[in-house]
A and B are shown apart, each in its own frame.
Chain A
Amino acid sequence: MTKAVPRPLDSRLTPNRGRGFATFDEPAQPLLVDEEGNPDFVAIQQSEEFKALRRRALVFIFPMTALFLTWYLTYVVASAYAHDFMSTRVLGVVNVGILLGLLQFVTTVALTLTYARYARRKLDPQVVVVRGLAGIVEE
């Protein structure tokens, strides 16, 4: 779980990987903002920092979404069409279908916690870097 309270501490401890990370000193490179100080979204979108963030996000969420949807639909289709297999008794009267259903709960919780951890470690720090490009310093 992300700790919400000590946010100022968080941002200072964040590993400073990208170029141009906004520190409390002068930024090392010009900020990606227009004359009025508004963020230059096209330039940010083209930046290496943003591309890295997008890559890290999509490389996780697209395959994982495909995976859990396939796994869920397999379970549903098996329940609808493979009655005999799903009715095989395993533990007492508990059958394959109930076990696979419970396994769906387990995988959902596991994948949810995995994503939360991945986002906290790999995405959030990179978001801080990209926000730095637009001159947004985390409090």
Chain B
Amino acid sequence: MRVDGPATDGNVAINISVFAVFVLITLYVVYRASTRNTTAADYYAAGSSFTGPQNGIALSGDFLSAASFLGISGGIAVHGYDGFLYSVGWVVAWMMGLMLIAERLRNTGRFTLGDVLSFRMRQRPVRAAAANATLVISLFYMIAQMAGAGALMALLLDVQDRVGQAVVIAVVGVVMVVYVLVGGMKGTTWVQIIKAVLLLLCVSFLTIFLLGKFGFSLSAIMETGSRNTPLGAKVLDPGALYGGSELSKLDFVSLALALVLGVTSLPHVLMRFYTVPNAREARRSVVWATLLMATFYLCTLVIGFGALALVGSEKIASAPGGENSAAPLLAFEVGGAVLLGVVAAVAFATILAVVAGLTLTASASFAHDVYANVIKRGTADPRSEIRVARLTAIVVGLLSIVGGIAASGQNVAFLVALALALAASANLPTLLFSLFWRRFNTAGTLWSIYGGLTSCVVLIIFSPAMSGAPNSIFPGVDFHWFPLGNPGIVSIPLSFLCGWLGTLLSRTEADPVKQAEMEVRSMTGIGSGLN
């Protein structure tokens, strides 16, 4: 086994230069894309000018985040089967988006989730609620990504002290705000496309190499891997991570539910459907995203067990980034410093691109829903709306830098799972009721958004994830009373129930004319101006 770690001085230089090249290229692309970036439609939705396949690649890029690339391949390398289990949910979830959401959202809305939820309801309270949900979910997801950037840098650039990591997080934040301010949705989407293509090439190369090395037998890779971990052959069976107690089993089911329902309810994913010209292209983009995601996670299965076979779980667990270092360590083992540099740069670029998308979504939601429609009651001049959006992007960028520094060192995949639970609780029930249930009304909408959001936040605060367990955010104190780490199994059904009850208990009936308009428009695009 080689003695030198992945973060020797020469490697750091390679890592930084590969990454600098990526930033320069993407900044140039963003700058080129920005030339006609003047109207609200350009800034929020790239003028709806992307094709289905392009948007599909960008969509998969939103999900091939550092948390899933590093987190899942690392999860497989350390926990074996239970890590793989996690990746299945990410793929299956896309069918929700495909069949229930993508086309209808594209036909009904223009820029934000608030457009759709408030379509047939009272504008101001519903838009405010939708914006609240979007901001909370996006900030949560963003902090997770920024915290990941710190952990990644610890591994790749040998930045061990907190101050150094804070500087790295701040640099990530500034670059991403520049992407958003200069490029708007178009620039952000191109960054996402470039990054997704690089990442897919990278994992395909690693996978083909590993398969070749082990005679194209998945069984051989898994068998060699299982000899390299203290778990032994158990690493191939379920239960290594979630098998401990009845509670941890239930916790896993809760997580799986949040995954499958949350992925396509995330605001930055929903907003992507507006970057294509019509419902058919929205459908094509989900088809592309699904195929790419399926390929990607099949590759992570091989990479995860490959890392176990070639690197070994002890070396992975003791590396500076812990679990997250499995894929980079494997790259170093396979292709030396250069391949490590490429994998590192791609992983870092991933964080940058995902955070830029989130910043854009949060700023659009505030400017379009809160500023233009709640505060200015729909009379805001479009130019001032864009100005507010840009200012919000800066504020959100600052908030996420601060939050990312504070959360640095937390388990990234776990924070992402909480954001998914929030999205599945606050957005999904409301969106489905609004599209498919005729009687659903303003009261029901508010109940399900706030019911889902509040219950989810409260359960997270009083869960073992926050306090009372060795790996919680505040391990020193114990104020938890909710036994599960992920609240999805309670808060998602509760939000559906709230929407239903709120609708029945309210005296104001749903507006049948607006309902007809929304139903016809969502299925055919009539009245949307799209074709």
Contacts and interface: CB of A to CB of B under 8 A. Distances in A.
Contact of B526 (A1, A57, A136): A136
A83 B85 CA distance: 13
Given A65-B100, A86-B238, A92-B217, 9 more contacts: A2-B52, A4-B280, A41-B520, A65-B95, A72-B88, A73-B257, A94-B222, A109-B290, A131-B524
B98 A86 contact: no
Given A92-B220, A94-B222, A134-B526, A105 B253 contact: no
A45 B260 contact: no
B403 interface: no
Nearest to A10: B280
A65 B223 contact: no
Chain B at the A interface: mostly helix, strand, loop or mixed? helix
Q: Which of A72, A131, A136 has the most CB of B within 10 A?
A: A72
Nearest to B514: A41
Contacts of B99: 60-61, 64-65, 115
A54 B438 CA distance: 13
Interface in B259-292: 260, 280-281, 283-284, 286-287, 290-291
A50 B256 contact: no
Interface in B508-531: 512-513, 516-517, 519-521, 523-527, 531
26 contacts: A1-B287, A4-B280, A38-B527, A41-B516, A42-B516, A60-B99, A61-B100, A72-B88, A76-B256, A77-B253, A79-B81, A80-B238, A80-B242, A80-B253, A93-B226, A94-B219, A94-B222, A98-B81, A101-B84, A104-B92, A105-B88, A112-B290, A115-B99, A130-B524, A134-B526, A136-B531
Contacts of B525: 127, 131
Given A42-B513, A97-B238, A112-B290, A92 B98 contact: no
Interface string A84-96: 0011000111110
Contacts of B249: 80-81
Chain A at the B interface: mostly helix, strand, loop or mixed? helix
B96 interface: yes
B261 to A, nearest CB: 9
Contacts of B286: 112
B272 to A, nearest CB: 17
Contacts of B51: 4
A53 B523 contact: yes
**Which of the four size classes fits the interface of chain A?**
35 or more
**Which of the four size classes fits the interface of chain B?**
35 or more
Contacts of A54: 519, 523
B185 interface: no
Nearest to B513: A42
A41 B527 contact: yes
Given A98-B84, A108-B94, A53 B524 contact: yes
B520 A79 contact: no
A116 B51 CA distance: 16
B236 A98 contact: yes
A63 to B, nearest CB: 10
